[in-house]
């Protein structure tokens, strides 16, 4: 048996597949600022073309090639819901980055305040004003050590406003261990303890800033995953749309009329007017196919040849037309046609071009059982 490709869906699917291929050929390999497939996934017109193609593809797959029943269409819900969920999961990254923005700004402000505090604490001992008053503020031995530190750090760089630069703060930080071992004056030791505590606070604040910065930025994997979110949504929506179409057809099927042609032939009797009869038959078959009504072919090799005075007109199966093989009248139920017809909504079956009484009777019996009207057109 030849599988039907279901013309209502296969032809549009093929057309839109060609459109997708053309777009890929024109723009999929061009030099753009982002990877080509990502560029295509971000353009609305390309997403629309992809949606239409996928819709017809899913309809063709699940309505024609692998027809689903009521339970099958319910299971399709798992598919499109999964795809939609995968697309929505990426938005959790946006929630995270927005949520931690305020914490990140507060941490940056806290870090900056600690840096300002450290600069002020450095100037508390080695600042120009403090150095000039050191001899009056401390005892002679302490003042000597304070003045030595003042001379050591007198060349520290400062901004136009007079504050210490970050490089100067770093120099003081590197010198703290040496100062601890070389100076014992109480003001110097207390100053050094305050600075050590402040530098420890600065390190903690810097660690917190780096942690929050990572939380406010998407990772590389999250960024790449987010690029494909529109494609995932298109897949989900196309699958959902095909599910709606399938359930509508399942619950409200369109009544169909079917021609059944035996042995790929039509018999024209030998009483004359062969040319006119053949012309009428060709026109009727063409109009039938244009109306998108079904034509099926049943090969019955056991039937006798037609009379020599009759004219046999060959009928080639169309690309979308089903073909079945019948070994004998007694095996009609097993030939595949009965199973195929059970999945259709057939109102009338026209048995065209056959005169075998046993076959005609068997088809009529099937019609009574299946509640299908069987009309016989033996000859033209």
pLDDT value, residue 378: 57
The pLDDT of 72-100, averaged and rounded, is 84
pLDDT of 308-359, one tens digit each?
666 677 788 877 788 888 888 888 888 888 888 887 778 888 887 666 788 8
Mean pLDDT, all residues of the chain: 80
Q: Among the residues of 60-165, which ranges form H helices?
A: 70-89, 91-99, 101-126, 128-132, 134-137, 140-152
pLDDT value, residue 31: 57
Other Cβ atoms less than 10 A from the Cβ of 357: the count is 9
Sign, CA torsion 27/31/33/37? positive
Other Cβ atoms less than 10 A from the Cβ of 43: the count is 13
Whole-prediction pTM: 0.55
pLDDT value, residue 1: 46
Say if CB 149 and CB 126 are below 8 A apart. Answer: yes
pLDDT value, residue 285: 77
Residues in CB range of 174: below 8 A, 6 or more apart? none
Using the structure block, give the residue that is written with the tokens 């870090």: 111
pLDDT value, residue 39: 63
pLDDT at 287 over 90: no
pLDDT of 148-180, one tens digit each?
888 888 888 888 877 888 888 888 888 888 887
Percent with pLDDT over 70 in the chain: 86
Say if CB 45 and CB 51 are below 8 A apart. Answer: no
pLDDT value, residue 206: 92
pLDDT value, residue 3: 47
pLDDT value, residue 354: 65
pLDDT band per the 50, 70, 90 thresholds, residue 231? confident
pLDDT of 198-218, one tens digit each?
889 989 999 999 998 888 887
pLDDT value, residue 21: 84
pLDDT at 304 over 90: no
pLDDT value, residue 28: 60
pLDDT at 135 over 80: no
The pLDDT of 137-147, averaged and rounded, is 83
Of the candidates 232, 262, 217, 224, the residue with the CA atom closest to the CA atom of residue 99? 217
């Amino acid at each position: 048996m030849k599988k039907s490709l279901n013309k209502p869906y296969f032809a549009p699917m093929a057309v839109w597949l060609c459109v997708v291929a053309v777009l890929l050929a024109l723009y999929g390999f061009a030099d753009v600022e982002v990877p080509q497939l990502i560029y295509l996934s971000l353009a609305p017109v390309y997403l629309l073309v992809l949606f239409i193609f996928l819709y017809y593809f899913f309809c063709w797959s699940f309505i024609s090639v692998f027809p689903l029943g009521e339970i099958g269409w319910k299971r399709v819900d798992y598919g499109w819901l999964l795809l939609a969920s995968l697309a929505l999961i990426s938005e959790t990254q946006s929630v995270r980055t927005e949520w931690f923005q305020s914490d990140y700004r507060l941490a940056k402000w806290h870090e900056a305040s600690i840096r300002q505090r450290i600069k002020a604490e450095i100037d508390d001992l080695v600042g120009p004003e403090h150095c000039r008053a050191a001899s009056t503020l401390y005892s002679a031995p302490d003042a000597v050590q304070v003045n030595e530190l003042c001379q050591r750090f007198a060349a520290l760089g400062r901004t136009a406003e007079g504050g210490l630069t970050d490089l100067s703060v770093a120099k003081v930080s590197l010198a703290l261990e040496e100062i601890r071992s070389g100076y014992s004056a109480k003001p110097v030791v207390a100053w050094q303890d305050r600075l050590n505590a402040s530098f420890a606070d600065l390190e903690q604040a810097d660690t917190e800033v780096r942690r929050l910065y990572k939380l406010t930025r998407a990772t590389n994997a999250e960024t790449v995953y987010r690029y494909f979110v529109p494609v995932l949504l298109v897949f989900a929506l196309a699958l959902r749309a095909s599910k709606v179409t399938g359930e509508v057809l399942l619950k409200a099927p369109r009544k169909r009329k079917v021609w059944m042609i035996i042995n790929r032939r039509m018999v024209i009797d030998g009483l004359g007017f062969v040319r006119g009869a053949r012309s009428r038959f060709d026109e009727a078959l063409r109009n039938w196919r244009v109306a998108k009504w079904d034509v099926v072919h049943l090969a019955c090799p056991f039937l006798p040849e037609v009379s020599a005075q009759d004219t046999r007109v060959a009928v080639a199966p169309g690309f979308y037309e089903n073909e079945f093989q019948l070994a004998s009248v007694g095996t009609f139920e097993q030939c595949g046609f009965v199973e195929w017809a059970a999945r259709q909504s057939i109102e009338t079956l026209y048995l065209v071009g056959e005169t075998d009484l046993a076959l005609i009777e068997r088809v009529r019996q099937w019609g009574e059982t299946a509640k299908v009207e069987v009309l016989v057109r033996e000859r033209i």
